[in-house]
Structures are given as C-alpha cells and as structure tokens.
Amino acid sequence: MLSLRIRIFLSMIVLILMASVILASISIIQFKNEAKEYHQERLERNENAVKQHINFLLSTTTYPLTSGNLDLIFKDKIHELAHIHNIEINIYSLDGKLLKSSKESFSVDKVAPPIPKYILKLVRSSIEKRYVEIKTIDGKKNRSAFSQIKDDKFKPLGILNLPYVEDDGYYENELKSFLIRLGQVYSFMLIVAFALAYFLSSYITKSLKTISDKLSETSLSQKNEKIVLEANSKEINLLIKAYNGMVDELEKSAIKLAQSEREEAWREMAKQVAHEIKNPLTPMRLTVQSFQRKFDPTDPNVKQKMNDYSETLIQQIDTMSAVASAFSNFASMPAQQNETLNVVEVVELAMDIFNEEYIEFHSDSPEIISKIDRTQLIRIITNLAKNAIQSIPEQQVEKSVLVRIRKENNHVLITVSDNGIGIQHKDMNRIFEPKFTTKSSGMGLGLGIIKNIIENYKGTITFETEFGKGTTFIVSLPIINS
C-alpha cells in the first residue's frame, strides 16, 4: 500500500499531466474549429465577390437574360472571372447540365457529369437558394458551393458552382508550433511540480510522521511523551490534541493498573505469608496438646520428653522465622553498597562454596572491573547455581553445570547453564513470579529476589530452555565505572 506522501506526490504529478493533456486537446479542437470557420467564411467571401461580378456582367451584357444565353454571356468572361478571383468557376443550367467552366478540359470524361438531383433539390428548397457540399478526396477536404444565378427581376437563370479545396497547412504549422511551445512550458512546469510535490508532500506528512512515530512508541507500561508540535493544519492539530489527550488517559490508566497490581500482589503475598505461618503452627498446636494430655511429672523420662518437646517447638519456630526473613528480603531489598571490584574474581569465589565436581567456571577475560554490590552479586550467582544443581535429577548419570562470564560492549554477561530437566512451556511465563516454584521445597522467592536486584542495576535476566535437556540463564549487567 502506497504511503500518503507518495500519494500526494503522484496526485500532483498526475494533475499536471492531465492538465497538459486537456489543454492540448482543447487547443487542437480550437484550431480545427478556427480552420473550419476560416474556410467557410473564405468560401462565402469568394462566392459573394464572384456573384457581384456576375451580376455586373449580366447588367452590361447585350444578350437577352435567359438561361439559354448563359453560355454566350460567359463565353469570353468566365476565364477572366476565375483569374481575377483566383478560384475555379462552373456555371450550370437549372436542370444541372454544365454550360461553362473555367477549367480547360476534363481529365476523365469529355462530357462533364451533371449536378446530382439531390443537390438541385436542396438548392431550390433552401431559403438562401444555396447549398455547400463537403467531401474528402485523397485525404483533403473539398467544399463545393452551389447557388442560383438570377436576373435583375430575381428570376433564376442558372446555377453557380465554386469548388474549394481546404488548405490547412498554415493552421497545421501553427498548431504544431503551439504544441511544441506548450510542451516546453509544461516540461518546465513538470520539473517545478516534481520539486513542489516533493516538498509539499514532505511538509504535509512531516507532522503525520511525528504522530506515527509517537503512536508506535506508545505503551501502557512506560512513560509516554506528548507531542509538542504546532502544525499549520487544523486537522493535524486536532489529531495531536487527541493523541496528547490519549497520553494523559493512558498515564491515569497505568497508575490505576499499577496500583491495582500492587494491591493484588500484596493480597497474594499476605495469603502466602498466612499459609506459610499456619504450616508450622499446626504441628506446634498438636505438640502442645499432646504434651498437656500426656505430661506426668513422676515419669522417670520426663526430662528427655521435655527436651524433645522443646526441640519440636524450636524447629517450628525456626521455620516461621525463615518464612518471615524470606518475605522480608523480597519486600524490601537492602540498600546497595557499591564498590569497585573485579566481577570475575567475585563470581569465582562465590562458586567455591559448591562442592559438586561437575560444576565448571570459565571467563573470557581474567578481569572485568565494575562498581557493584559484592553481596548482591554473590546472591545472584549462588541462587542461579543452586537452582541449576537442584534442576538435575539425583539419578542422572552425566551432570553438568557451567558458569561463564564475559564482557560484551559495556555490559558483563553471566550465563549459568545446566543439563537438568528444563522448564515446561506452561511454566515459562511464571518463572520469575513470587511464590512460584517447581520444586517440592522452598517458597519460590529466589528468582523473584534476584530479578529485583538485577533490574535495580538496569540489567536484564532471561533464560533459554528445552524441556528434558536443560536451561541457561543469562544475566546482563551494565558496567558501572567509578
């Protein structure tokens, strides 16, 4: 589909071309009409001049003015008339028979053909007693005027015929010259139109392009900028106003949505906290009730039973404390204590706490210096490595966990790969959600916590997985210089 800019450009060019074609067509028609009127008027002028001369001859002749004497009257005068008026003259009788002609002889017939009867009828029946026959012979238009010759009492004596061949050479040359000049003018106008159409289409679509770019960047999940532009078009200004209004509404909707999501998240968190706390409370209640029911101060093993009872309660209290600590860590991350350090060295030290022989560490560079919180970096690595280890089934023979670090542009990339069970497709979108876990133990807060840490550093964490073959987590952190 053509863009609006191209459509405007092509429309202006087509408009210029159509205008040139229409003007050329009108000019050709006008020239032809002028040529037609010119030949018609010229024939009428010649005919009037010849008839005046004939009337003069008829008024001065000594022969009686009868149809039979026309041959004698014009015997010596017809060639003089034709020479004076520079036109061929033929005189016919009233029944259409040729009496005299300015032509010396006839090329085909010795006896000239008479006037067709339909022409005689048209001459007699017309008000002006005149008829003009138009024929095209050998590609040239021929006019032939037939009119009555009358005596001084307006009595018809014969028929005057004036053949006339239209010569359009002058008009054709004029038309050709005009079309050449017109073509030159419109060629120049076409060049100007190309430039004008380009700049005009660019000017018109510039504002629309700005609006289009802004619309393509508009998202509910980010801060959208308004369009600060004053266009010369009322319609485009209305469009800009509508877009800016939409941005305001989107911002309000985003705030409401974020607030709603936060409220929903805390509601879910509260439910999870209540659930995790209730889990140890139940065995604690049962232990207390059992102790209350079976306690015997005289029992010789009362001291041992008191110790067992206390250990049970302490164990459940420790579980509740761990739950509280985990949710506290997730809800509020500790302040970042950034320090300039060698990321490679810190990651390698973090890996030393793991005793599994199948864990490997590689770095493309011995030193990548950045300003980052050492504790949080260690937390990221240990959490990902621990998850990688736990994703490999105990009965699996070949186990592999590879931690690799490298520098790419102005970022440090840390990848943790394993050949464990991988992540199922249905769980991929929930892997970083709080309290989501695929393990039988734990509360599913680890990946959520490290995701918060990474995003606080304007970094990203992604993963690639294939169910049954393993998973690779990719952490990208910008290198912050001191």
E-strand ranges in 14-125 read 90-92, 98-101
Res. 442: pLDDT tops 50 = no
Report pLDDT digits (tens) over 169-198. 666 777 788 778 878 887 887 788 778 777
Report pLDDT digits (tens) over 398-423. 999 999 999 988 899 999 999 998 88
Res. 445: pLDDT tops 60 = no
Question: In which residue ranges of the chain is CATH 3.30.450.20 found?
Answer: 4-172
Report which of 172, 202, 155, 177 is spatially closest to residue 3, judged by C-alpha positions.
Answer: 202
Q: Is residue 252 very low, low, confident or very high in pLDDT (cuts 50, 70, 90)?
A: confident
| Dist. CA 118–CA 120, nearest whole Å | 5
What pLDDT does residue 107 have?
A: 46
Res. 204: pLDDT tops 80 = no
Beta pairing, strands 401-408 & 411-418: antiparallel
> Which tokens in the block code for residue 397?
């023979």
Residue 269 amino acid letter? M
Question: In which residue ranges of the chain is CATH 1.10.287 found?
Answer: 234-331
CA 18 to chain CA centroid, Å, is 26
Widest CA span in the chain:
185
Residue 357 amino acid letter? E
* Class of the domain covering 4-172: alpha beta
For the chain, percent of residues with pLDDT exceeding 90: 9
Looking at 3.10.129.10, 3.30.565.10, 3.40.50.10140, 1.10.540.10, the CATH number of the domain 338-478 comes to 3.30.565.10
CATH number of 234-331: 1.10.287
Given the structure tokens 């053909």, which residue do they identify?
Answer: 113
Out of 3-17, 292-306, 364-378, the most confident range is 364-378
Task: State mean pLDDT over 22-30.
Answer: 84
- Computed over every residue of the chain, the mean pLDDT equals 79
Question: In which residue ranges of the chain is CATH 3.30.565.10 found?
Answer: 338-478
> Which tokens in the block code for residue 299?
């029992």
For the chain, percent of residues with pLDDT exceeding 70: 78
Res. 292: pLDDT tops 60 = yes
Q: How far apart are the first and last CA of the chain?
A: 52
Task: State mean pLDDT over 356-364.
Answer: 90
SS3 at position 114: coil
